[in-house]
Structure 1
Amino acid sequence: MNNDKNTIQDSDWLYEISSEKKLLDFNFKEIWRYKDLLILFVKRDIVTVYKQTVLGPLWFLIQPLFTSVIFTLVFNNVANIQTGQVPSFLFNLAGITAWTYFRECLTGTSGTFTKNAGIFGKVYFPRVIMPMSVTISNLLKLAIQLSIFAGFYIYFVASGRDISPNANLILFPAYVFIMGTTGLGLGMILSAMTTKYRDLSVLVTFGVQLLMYLSAVPFPLTEILEKKPEYFWVFKYNPLAQIIEGFRYMTLDTGLFTWWGFFYALGFSLVVFFIGLAIFNRTEKNFIDTV
């Protein structure tokens, strides 16, 4: 009897679950082992959001279209902001399409701990899978909205508008990566903070709206540079403004693109992701006591 017990104790465990992990631990092997769960969460995020709504997935189309129309009326027709050869509606739709992906990644991951406390308190799985699933599921929304953008793009080209993408279009996957990584990193930071300060969830919604204007979504950076150059530094050092401007530049061949801005946004996304991962890993050890 004792021999069998010693044999069991001396044998190697197949898997070992421990709260001790490095702050920057991103265990790809463990995440791959739970890939089925990741896929399940991705499906859940896609299906449940609009499952009991009247219009369902059509909201993916309605939101950017209506926002683009409002921006065109307010900023281009009333405020007389010029977009050059590019139709104002298409210009706004490009910025909103890129911004929406970042916003959805940020807001969707910012409540990871508070929204999933019931699941986290009952079963073990790599917690980082939850915010990852949000970022991945939002790729489907991005694809749908990009198809709408492509449809209007073709329409304006067929109407004789002088618009075309440029060689920077090969950077499209990089920009998607930067937007997703930045939203995921900031979301993990906020998710950790909201475990102690619940009112932050309200501030996130309000702050994201303000951040949209500071990221030059409804207007080109050239307008700021020409009319208010003293405030241009605010947008120059905002990595989100560099992302939005770069996205419009590669698709519409308009705007201010610099390699400095591209690598600045890329570096910022990686730094904020690793900071968010460190804070996320630290919080997951004892968050259940404060939620």
Structure 2
Amino acid sequence: MEQEALQEDHWDHVIESRNSLFDLRLREIWHYRDLLFLFVRRDFVTVYKQTILGPLWFFIQPILTTITFTVIFGNVAQLSTDGAPKLVFYMAGITLWNYFSTCLTSVAGVFNANAGIFGKVYFPRLIMPLTIVISNLMKFGVQFLMFLIFAIYYYCLGNIQPNNWIFLTPLIVFIMAIISMGIGLILSSMTTKYKDLNMLIGFAVQLFMYATPVIYPSSSIPENYQWLIRLNPLVALFDYMRYAYLGVGNFSFSTLLYPSGFAIVILVFGVIVFNKVQKSFMDTV
């Protein structure tokens, strides 16, 4: 009789441990999509809720950084901008870099930052990294709008020549989001065991900025070192930004093959490692 009663039970949701590294349970994330949207709203509202200037910080930070780069790297160091106006050249790089660096560092600390809620209630842990990527996408959208305003101004002056490649922007941002999330997932899995990485990640991201054409065009790199900088999957994305919106530098669709392939591989690897670590991370956090 007990066996018959058990067979008649129909559960709406069953929580069980993962037995395979490749059991990603992406359908489960879709089931919790309302929670995802709730977390995104929370992040967007609470970050600037108790600040004096509020959402204006979305504009202040990139403007101050752009002015600093223009003075130091453009006027003092006299770095090349491929003939583009310095202000809009640096703003193009900063807009992309802010999104990438913020997503990477935030995802890298997702276990430590959310240990409290992870230890109290079950939900797909990938919800939190996805929340970070999506909520920062809204911040990127605000800063990108500001960049467009400056780009339109310089276009009216005849100083830049945008082209039809600008319609490829959503794909570029999507690739960058995947790369930042994939690397962040791997680092988050490592920081649960090696606490020193928490101190090194921010410093390493700052160093990585100088290996990425944020403050200089990739064309300024000597020819014999071009192969080395091209190992960085972000180079093609920054080259696209300057070529599509400012009309400077070189870009072709084939250059996106490497960053696209890298994004897929690093994301899959990151999710697999993340799913493995999440089973026992509460023992080490």
| TM, length-normalised to structure 2 | 0.95
Q: Deviations over 1:193-225 (max 9, x none)?
A: 11011121111100111111101100001111x
CA distance in 1 between counterparts of 2:50 and 2:228 reads: 42
Give the deviation of 1:7 after TM superposition.
Answer: 3.7
Match of 1:107 in 2: 105
Does structure 1 residue 278 correspond to structure 2 residue 268? no
Q: Deviations over 1:125-165 (max 9, x none)?
A: 0000000000000111011001100111122223x233132
Match of 1:51 in 2: 49
Tell me the secondary structure at the aligned position of residue 188 of structure 1.
Answer: helix
- Which piece of structure 1 moves more, 73-82 or 180-189? 73-82
Contact 1:94-1:149 within 8 A present in 2 as well:
yes
Structural RMSD (CA): 1.5
CA distance in 1 between counterparts of 2:19 and 2:241 reads: 37
Match of 1:188 in 2: 185
Where does structure 1 lack aligned partners over 5 or more consecutive residues?
A: none
Give the deviation of 1:166 after TM superposition.
Answer: 1.6
Contact 1:23-1:277 within 8 A present in 2 as well:
no
Instruction: Determine what percentage of the aligned residue pairs are the same residue.
Output: 47
CA distance in 2 between counterparts of 1:217 and 1:25 reads: 38
Match of 2:239 in 1: 245
Does structure 1 residue 137 correspond to structure 2 residue 135? yes
CA distance in 1 between counterparts of 2:110 and 2:96 reads: 23
- Which residue identity does 2:186 align to in structure 1? I
The within-5 A match list for 1:152-191 is 152-158=150-156, 160-191=157-188
* Change beyond 3 A, Cα 1:43–1:21: farther
Match of 2:26 in 1: 28
Give the deviation of 1:21 after TM superposition.
Answer: 4.4
Count of matched residue positions in the alignment of Structure 1 and Structure 2: 284
Contact 1:163-1:252 within 8 A present in 2 as well:
yes
- Which residue identity does 1:139 align to in structure 2? L
| TM, length-normalised to structure 1 | 0.93
- Which residue identity does 1:269 align to in structure 2? A
